[in-house]
Amino acid sequence: MSNITIRAHPKFSNVYISGLPQNPKLYSKNLIPGNKVYGERLITFKGEEYREWDPFRSKLAAMILEKPSLEFLKKDLSCLYLGASSGTTISHLSDIVYEGVIYGVEFAERSMRQLIQNTDKRKNIVPLLGNANFPESYAKSIFTPIDLVYQDIAQPNQAKIAIENCDYYLKNKGFLILAIKSQSIDSVEKSEKIYMQEKKILEKAGYVIIDSINIHKYAANHIILTVQK
Ligand SMILES: C[S@@+](CC[C@H](N)C(=O)[O-])C[C@H]1O[C@@H](n2cnc3c(N)ncnc32)[C@H](O)[C@@H]1O
C-alpha cells in the first residue's frame, strides 16, 4: 500500500501527477493492471492502478513536464509511432489513448521481439516491423486515418522521415510530435544550429511549428517539436 495521492494532470487528458505542482511525478493509468513494461513502479490509488512514467526513460514524459503549449492527447486517437523500440513510451501512450490505436513501427528485429513480448496484452498497439524511411512499405497494415504521428528516431534525416510519413498518413490539421536528436544529425555542429535547420526543412514542406521544447535536462541534445499539418 502506498500513501501517494494521485490526481489528474491539469492539462493533459489521461495523464496523472503526484507531488508538488512545480515538481510533479507523472503517471498513466495502467490499461493492463498488474503488468509492468520496463520495471516501472505500480501504484494503486482509490482502486485504480497507475504506472510511474519516468522522464529520463521517455521523451514524451520529459516533454509534458516541460509544459508544451498545446494539449494533443485524447483517449480515442489513431497514432503512428515511429521508433517504437522495446515499448517504454508507446506503452504509456497506449494507457492514454485507451480507446484508440497505435501503429508502432520499428526496424530492429531484436527491439521488435521485445516490443511484442512487452506489449502483447495491449490490444491497441499494432507492432509493425518496418523502416520509417519507406512509409509506403507498411501501408497495407494501417487501416485508420492518423491523428497523431510520434517520432523518436536517431537518424541523420529525422525531419525528412517525419515529413514523408506525415505526407503519407497524417490527417490535415493533425499533429506531429517530433523528437530531434542533434548529435545524430551532426556531432560537431552546435545543437541550436541543427534544430533551426530541421525546423526549416519542416516549414519548407508546409508544416507549422507550434512548439519547440528543450528536454536537455532529461535527454542530452534533444528537443521535441509540436508540428501541425
Ligand atoms: C531512441 S529509440 C526509441 C525509444 C522509444 N521511442 C521510447 O521512448 O520507448 C529509437 C528507435 O528507433 C529505431 N529506428 C531507427 N531508425 C529507424 C528506422 N529508419 N525505421 C524504424 N525504426 C528505426 C531504433 O531501432 C530504436 O529502437
Sheet containing 208-214: give its strands across: 125-129, 101-106, 78-82, 146-151, 170-181, 222-228, 208-214
User: Which numbered atom of ligand 1 lies nearest the CA of 133?
Assistant: 19
Q: How many domains does the chain have?
A: 2
187: confidence class by pLDDT, cuts 50, 70, 90: confident
Residues 169 and 146 in one domain: yes
Model pLDDT for residues 46-56, shown as the tens digit of each residue: 999 999 999 99
- What residues line ligand 1, using a CB cutoff of 6 Å? 58-59, 83, 85, 88-89, 105-108, 111, 131-133, 152-155
Distance of CA 46 to the CA centre of its chain: 28
Atom of ligand 1 at shortest range from CA of 59: 8
Q: Are residues 187 and 103 in the same domain?
A: yes
Band (186; pLDDT cuts 50, 70, 90): confident
Is residue 54 domain-shared with residue 67, that is, in the same domain?
Answer: no
**Residue 2 lies inside a defined structural domain of this protein:** no
pTM score: 0.96
For residue 90, the ligand 1 atom closest to its alpha carbon is 9
Are residue 23 and residue 74 in the same domain, yes or no? Answer: no
Same domain, 192 and 216: yes
Pocket test residue of 109, 119, 153, 182 for ligand 1, highest count of atoms within 8 A of CB: 153
- Looking up residue 34, the CATH number of its domain turns out to be 3.30.200.20
Could you read off the pLDDT of 62-103 as tens digits, one per residue?
A: 999 999 999 999 999 999 999 999 999 999 999 999 999 999
Let me know whether 160 and 52 are in one domain.
Answer: no
Domain that holds residue 73: 62-228
Could you tell me if 213 and 188 lie in one domain?
Answer: yes
Length of the chain equals 229
Q: How confident is the model at residue 1, as a pLDDT?
A: 60
Residue 171, domain CATH: 3.40.50.150
- With respect to residue 72, please indicate whether it lies within any of the assigned structural domains: yes
The per-residue pLDDT of the chain, averaged, comes to: 95
